[in-house]
Amino acid sequence: MKILKFGGTSVGSADSIRSVLDIVRASHESGACPVVVLSAMGGVTNLLTQLAENAAEGRDFAEGLAEMENRHFSVVRQLIGVKHQNPVFTKLKIYLNELEDLLQGVFNLRELSPQSKDLILSYGERCSAFLVSKVAEQYFPGALYVDATQLIRTDSHFGSAHVDQVLSEQLINTFVTSNSGRLLFVTGFIAANEQGRVTTLGRGGSDYTAAIIGAAVGATAIEIWTDVNGMLTADPRIVKKAFSLPVLSYTEAMELSYFGAKVIYPPTMIPAFLKKIPIVIRNTFNTAFAGTIIQHDSGKTALPIKGISSIPEISVINLVGSGMVGRAGFSGRLFTLLAREQINVVLITQSSSEHSITFAVHPGDVLRAKGLIENEFELELVANKLSPPEIEDNLSVLAIVGENMKQTPGMSGKLFHALGRNGINVRAIAQGSSEYNISVIISQSDLSKALNAVHDAFFAQLNKTLHVFNAGTGNIGTTLFRQLREQHRFLLDHNDIEIKVVGIANSRRMLFNGDGIGLSDWEEQLQRAGEQADLAKFVSRMKLMNLPNCVFIDNTASEQPIRYYEEIFKSNISVVTCNKIANSGPYNQYRSLKDTARKHGVDFFYETNVGAGLPIVRVLRDLMMSGDRIIRIEAILSGTISYIFNNFTGGASFHEVVSTAQQLGYTEPDPRDDLKGTDFMRKMLILARDAGHPLEPEDVHLGAILPTACTQAASVDEFYRELAAADDYFNDLKLKAQKENKVLRYIGKLEDGQVSIALELVGDGHPFFALSGSDNIISFTTERYKERPLVVKGPGAGAEVTAAGVFADLVNVGA
């Protein structure tokens, strides 16, 4: 025999009741004659609570009663044939009249005892179970409505009564046996005490009813039908990637539901656990989905943890006192006091010095707990053996849960790494003695970020999300967005990485969307829904959104974003930049940026600062980190100048070739930066610094390729005019080279801590002779690569290769 329990949403409307009956039919046809347990229609228990409170305070309750009547009557009209409706209306009307009398009594007395409240609430389940049984009767002759007050016996602890398991089992078995073969529709949640007075089993008690009946009849399974796909790895309202768990042990399910996951009412597990009856959580609205099985063992799984649960609102009380806290007997007195006063202590930690105890309670209990402690320990407080209790509010608990944790080392390391990397401060830590959970207390404002970051850390193989804030939507930014869009599917399928661009800014406008800005029409969105750009606001919004695995990309050529890098690192956000200005400014700035990023455990990636997408920065870093020593670097690192010399061969004049290089996207936004050598200087400086030399920009010996008039041009237009005027000068250079069978090369060198860049004529014996397009080439002569240098060569400018380099840096963030 199976028990099927349907929650409020499953019986919330005529449509959903139809789905319930389909499920019952399927179960019935498969041979089992199930017992069906029903909750009140969705929202009805809350409505009844409200009406009872209204009545007790002398407020009107008629309107609410009418609403209750309408909801039930409307189902009768929709689901029961006209001929059979009258007796159903009559019985429902009797229930509603009784309810009205009760509410009137409460109204007259202005008093609502827990006993009256239980009786009032019982009408929710009575109406729904009766109604559904009558709808079912049309298809299952003999279907029987059962009021659980006949089946479940409790004590008189109204509101949350304790079940007399033995007596209830007898009552249930007698009833079920004498009605064998009939389909039973039982009210959830309600029971009765010895005198037959109605009691309730606590919020969510319908699950419990199902478990009690299941245990009594030795059911093969207890199916809890709800409106979600079983128990999930985390709260899906906060963690979009939360997924349903196929198998959990009873203990794991208890731990997960204790901390917030409201899918199942924790006491439900006990009768099922004792009789080893599996509980299956299924979705009434997605019957094709297998749901979650809760059973004796936690099942074979590769997952180190099962889920992450959370309590969003918690308060903490700190007790400090050298003379008191930590002494034998103190904690005993403290926690006995709190237990006696029914204050639920969610979590306890004690400092190793044992001079302090921190414990968490629900915010509604915190002031009462403080008052109780002040009373109980009055003498100790007066004698200064104990400091007055301190309260901290606006905190949350996050807990990772799973039986496998016990056998897997490094679980807490992983948890704290994920939290630390995302700048989440941990207020207190507790590991359950069972080692089935590790809980941390964090600030409420960090909860969403923490849940997502921890979820990614533990279920990384199941997809990691990077949240990107991108400044600069020019040549490189636009190309990067296109590449991200084109690769979105591939990254998800092959690397389980999802990249969401959640903020975009250029010098005119900015736009945010925490769910990700669609990259097929970002320009149109930025125009339509964006606001006026303000980089300070962009950065503060980025911090405020507090997203996990967050990356700031600087795709501008501006000094402005650089002012925020430190602040960004301090907010535990990584930076990826193709903007060279940050690393080629004063040495102190370069040093400080690197140090700050390292200190905050975030990445600062700038591969495209040198040679665009070519692996140069990375290669140098690997050489340095593995203990090699750089003897000499020789390089061509201006893609623009390389292109110009490789193409200034035929009929086109020098200034025309420069203009083509600009059109091809090789130049800096201002091409004077390339031709004056500034861009090359920056790259050599960055390499020298990365190679360990604390140089300043003016330390680089920069040989010019332009006549003075060109270098002094005050605007880009004027620059082109001066270039055109200098055509003869460049032609002479070209002819000289051709005469000597040589080519023009602008070459940078780093040796003995000295950096120079100069225009050279090189012959075909030179390794830099054969280049084409915008090629860069770099040769590292090192202790290990002494005889034959390590050479990297390839296109070193252009939007496609640069954006690809930014992309590669991005996917490596946090790797």
Ligand X SMILES: NC(=O)C1=CN([C@@H]2O[C@H](COP(=O)(O)OP(=O)(O)OC[C@H]3O[C@@H](n4cnc5c(N)ncnc54)[C@H](O)[C@@H]3O)[C@@H](O)[C@H]2O)C=CC1
Ligand Y SMILES: N[C@@H](CC=O)C(=O)O
List of residues contacting ligand Y (CB under 6 A): 612, 638-640, 666-668, 674, 679, 796-797
Q: Which does 640 bind (CB under 5 to 8 A by kind): ligand Y, Na ion, ligand X, none?
A: ligand Y
Q: Are 44 and 72 in contact, with CB atoms under 8 Å apart? A: no
555 binds, among ligand X, ligand Y, Na ion, none (CB under 5 to 8 A by kind): ligand X
Q: What is the DSSP letter of 445?
A: G
Closest CB to ligand Y among residues 392, 656: 656
Measured from the CB atom, is 263 or 686 closer to ligand Y?
Answer: 686
Residue 248 in the binding site for Na ion (CB under 5 A): no
Among 611, 639, 795, 798, binds Na ion (CB under 5 A): 611
Tokens encoding 521: 């029409």
Which residues are near ligand X by CB under 6 A? Answer: 471-477, 505-507, 533, 535, 555-558, 560-561, 578-580, 608, 612, 639, 665-666, 668-669, 797-799, 802
Write down the least CB distance from residue 721 to ligand Y, Å: 21
Q: Does 796 bind Na ion (CB under 5 A)?
A: no
Q: Give the separation between CA 169 and CA 765, rounded to whole angstroms.
A: 97
3-class secondary-structure state, position 53 = helix
- Find the shortest distance in angstroms from Cβ 751 to ligand Y: 22
> How much of the chain is in helix, strand and coil states, percent to nearest 5?
45, 20, 35
d(CA 35, CA 501): 51
> Which of ligand Y, Na ion, ligand X, none lies near 175, with the C-beta cut-off 5 to 8 A by kind?
none
Which amino acid is it at 384?
A: N
Read off the tokens for 126.
Answer: 């009575």
Is the Cβ of residue 118 or residue 554 nearer to ligand Y in the bound state?
554
Residue placing its CB nearer to ligand X in the complex, 95 or 538: 538
Q: Which does 614 bind (CB under 5 to 8 A by kind): ligand Y, ligand X, Na ion, none?
A: Na ion
The residue nearest Na ion at its CB is: 611
Taking alpha carbons only, the member of 792, 650, 680 closest to residue 746 is: 680
Minimum Å distance from CB 612 to ligand Y? 5
Measured CA to CA, the distance from residue 160 to residue 194 in angstroms comes to 15
Residue 471's binding partner, choosing from Na ion, ligand Y, ligand X, none, with beta-carbon cut-off 5 to 8 A by kind?
A: ligand X
Residue 334, CA distances (Å) to 353, 363, 366, 480, 594 in order: 18, 18, 14, 60, 49
Q: How far is the CB of 9 from Na ion (least distance, A)?
A: 55
Shortest CB 749 distance to ligand Y, Å: 17
* CB-facing half-sphere around the CA of 557: CA atoms within 13 A: 13
Terminal alpha carbon distance of the chain? 51
Considering the rule CB under 5 A, would residue 616 count as an interface residue with Na ion?
A: yes
Partner in contact with 476, chosen from ligand Y, ligand X, Na ion, none, beta carbon below 5 to 8 Å by kind: ligand X
Q: Inter-axis angle of helices 799-812 and 475-490, to 10 degrees?
A: 50
In the bound state with ligand Y, the residue whose beta carbon lies nearer, of 263 and 797, is: 797
Residue 683 a catalytic site member: yes
DSSP letters along 673-726, please?
A: HHHTSHHHHHHHHHHHHHTT----GGGSEE---S-HHHHT-SSHHHHHHHHHHT
Work out whether 124 is an interface residue with Na ion (CB under 5 A).
no
Residue 374 CB, shortest distance to ligand X, in Å, is 55
Q: Which of 226-229's residues contact partners 24+ apart within 8 Å by CB, and which partners? A: 226/7, 226/9, 226/10, 226/263, 226/281, 226/282, 226/283, 226/284, 227/7, 227/9, 227/10, 227/283, 227/284, 227/285, 228/263, 228/281, 228/283, 229/283, 229/286, 229/289, 229/291
Shortest spacing between CB 640 and ligand Y, in angstroms = 3
Catalytic residue among 117, 306, 449, 683: 683
614 touching Na ion, by CB under 5 A: yes
Q: Which does 638 bind (CB under 5 to 8 A by kind): ligand X, Na ion, ligand Y, none?
A: ligand Y
DSSP secondary structure string for all residues of 728-771: HHHHHHHHHHHHTT-EEEEEEEEETTEEEEEEEEE-TTSTTSS-
Looking at the Cβ atoms of 129 and 616, the one nearer to Na ion is 616
Q: Which of 356-364, 476-484, 607-615, 735-743 is the region at the interface with Na ion (rule: CB under 5 A)?
A: 607-615
Residue 674 site contact among ligand Y, Na ion, ligand X, none (CB < 5 to 8 Å, cut-off depends on kind): ligand Y
- Burial call 236-250: b when 16+ CB within 10 Å, e when fewer: eebbebbbbbebbbb
Residue closer to Na ion by CB (options 614, 710) is 614
Where along the sequence are the contacts to Na ion (CB under 5 A)? 607, 610-611, 614, 616
Residues with active-site annotation? 683
